[in-house]
Structure 1
Amino acid sequence: MIKVVSFDMDGTLIRKDYVEYVWLEAIPELYARKNGMEIEDAKEYVMNEYLKIGEAAIEWYDIKYWLKKFEIDCDWRELLESHAYMLKLYPEVNEVLENLRGEYELIIISNAAHEFIEVESRVLGLNKKFKHIFSAVTDFGNTKKSSDIYQKICGILGIENEEMVHVGDNYEFDYVAPSKAGIRAFYLDRDGSMGSNGENVVKNLKEFEERVKLLKNK
């Protein structure tokens, strides 16, 4: 029986405009200004440096690490706060959460570092909607690619792995890893890039809500 419904955050609950702007526009712009570079050259350099690290490494998500690496003299809090106006939930999110919160404990398991989570959750009021918000990289020193993260969280919550269901938009982190841990997982394919309508693929969170209801007594 499902007791806990778990969501990824960016790309699942929250539109990616904010995080993509911070990483792909704001930081390259600061780097270009510091080094007297053309913005497109700075973007190419910064992106190449990101890719050298890769999204499986915890440094990928650490804004303090990148500001130090690029020698950018900027307060990370000011950087994140200055673009917080861009934060938006996907349109179906509030309705889905309201429909599920009466029957299930709602949590977030994200790869985002606490620096981002603090701003995003405060601005969008997520702290009021979720019992727990976990950062894989900050709380556990690892990414969600490790199925151990999901197992540890089930232990913290005092539930069996099969009593949780998780949804997210990264196939490896949000579907493969929790599935390996024995957690029922759904891949959120908002843009249809997987070209699949399998039983474990949903196009939006309303579809996910319906799948959760079908699992209610299983």
Structure 2
Amino acid sequence: MIKAVLFDLDGTLLNRDESVRRFVEDQYERLCTSFHLVRKEEYVKRFLELDNRGYVWKDNVYKQLTMEMGITKITWQELYEDYITEFYRYCVPFPHLKMVLEELRRNNLLLGIVTNGRGHFQMANIKALEIEEYFQTIVISEWEGIKKPHPKIFKRAMEKLNVSPSQCVFVGDHPRNDIEASQKIGMKTIWKKDCATYNVNTDNTIDDLAEIPFIISKFK
């Protein structure tokens, strides 16, 4: 009997790729007088390459970016601080996000988020998506002192919901950090496909969040 659904955040609920692109384009527009002869297209393209879909810390991204492009009128620290404080304004949800959360709540399922990242930053993004109220627990790696794929971070979320792995479904986009890790501790899994090509061993695969309620109903 499934009692709870746990979600990853970036790439699963938050359309991170689109959100980051919007932020970086606007950051250039706001601060371009500090970038000398750097073109917008060049700035955005290189940022996204260095960012590696969120798997490189932004302080390292900005250090490399300013060095490569000869940006001296503004420091990497100032650019990084701008990212930390302003990114939430550009958060884009995947389609049908609130509709799905509403339906899961109507079905009396407990909901949680398990995400890697920095605490206040991730909470600001969750609040920007206006979804905080749907979740009984939100577990963020910085605040827990441990991150996915370590099993303890999943177990902490389940402890807070008072459920066992066999009573949980995990929804995520990363083959190892989300799907493989949650399967290893006995959870059902739903892989939300992204633009990359992976061979993923999962219970179910979706393209759209709207598919989730029906899939969960089959688990019961």
- Per the shorter chain, which TM-score range? 0.7 to 0.9
| Aligned match for 1:110, one of 112, 115, 127 | 115
CA contact (8 A) 1:110 1:134 kept: yes
Name the aligned partner's letter for residue 150 of structure 1.
F
- Deviation track 1:28-76 (CA, whole Å, cap 9, x = no partner) reads 999998786746489658955x67xx93xxxx45x56766897524286
Aligned-pair CA distance for 1:87: 1.7
Query: Among 202, 209, 214, which residue is 2:206 paired with?
Result: 202
Question: Counterparts of 1:92 and 1:46 in 2: how far apart (Å)?
Answer: 26
1:18 alignment counterpart: 19
Closer, same or farther: CA 25–79 of 1 in aligned 2, 3 Å:
same
Distance in 2 separating the partners of 1:65 and 1:30? 21
* SS across alignment from 2:76: coil
Contact 2:20–2:90 (CA under 8 A) maintained in structure 1: no
Q: CA deviation at 1:157?
A: 2.7
Identity %: 23
| Helix, strand or coil at the partner of 1:6 | strand
Q: Which residue of 1 aligns with 2:125?
A: 120
Deviation at 1:200, TM superposition (A): 2.1
CA distance in 2, matches of 1:75, 1:36: 15
Alignment partners' CA distance in 2, 1:19 and 1:119: 15
Match of 1:149 in 2: 153
Contact 1:7 1:167 in 2 (8 A): yes
Is 1:82 the equivalent of 2:86?
A: yes
CA distance in 2, matches of 1:204, 1:109: 19
- Whole-Å Cα distance in 1 between the matches of residues 201 and 171 of structure 2? 15
CA gap 1:3/1:110 in 2 versus in 1, 3 angstroms = same
Unaligned runs of 5+ in 1: none
Letter in 2 for 1:82: E
Q: 1:196 to 1:123 in 2, by over 3 A?
A: closer
SS of residue paired to 1:154: helix
Q: Distance in 1 between matches of 2:36 and 2:159?
A: 51
Q: How far apart in 1 are the matches of 2:47 and 2:100?
A: 40
Distance 1:143 1:27 in 2: 29
Residue of structure 1 equivalent to 2:193: 189
- Corresponding position of 1:133: 138
Shift of 1:116: 2.3
Number of aligned positions between the proteins: 206
Given the alignment of the two structures, is residue 180 of structure 1 paired with residue 184 of structure 2, yes or no? yes
The answer to whether the 8 A contact 1:31-1:42 is kept is: no
After TM superposition, give the deviation of residue 96 of structure 1 in Å: 0.8
Query: TM (normalized to structure 1)?
Result: 0.74
Mapped to 2, the partners of 1:45 and 1:104 lie a distance apart of: 39
Gaps of 5+ in 2: 67-74
TM-superposed CA distance for 1:5, in Å, is 0.7
Q: Hey, what's the Cα distance between the residues in 2 that align with 1:77 and 1:168? A: 28
Once the 2 structures are TM-superposed, how far is the Cα of residue 123 of structure 1 from its aligned partner?
1.8
Which secondary structure does the structure 2 equivalent of 1:74 belong to?
Answer: helix
Following TM superposition, by how much is the alpha carbon of 1:177 offset from its aligned partner in structure 2, in angstroms?
0.5
| Distance of 2:129 and 2:43 partners within structure 1 | 34
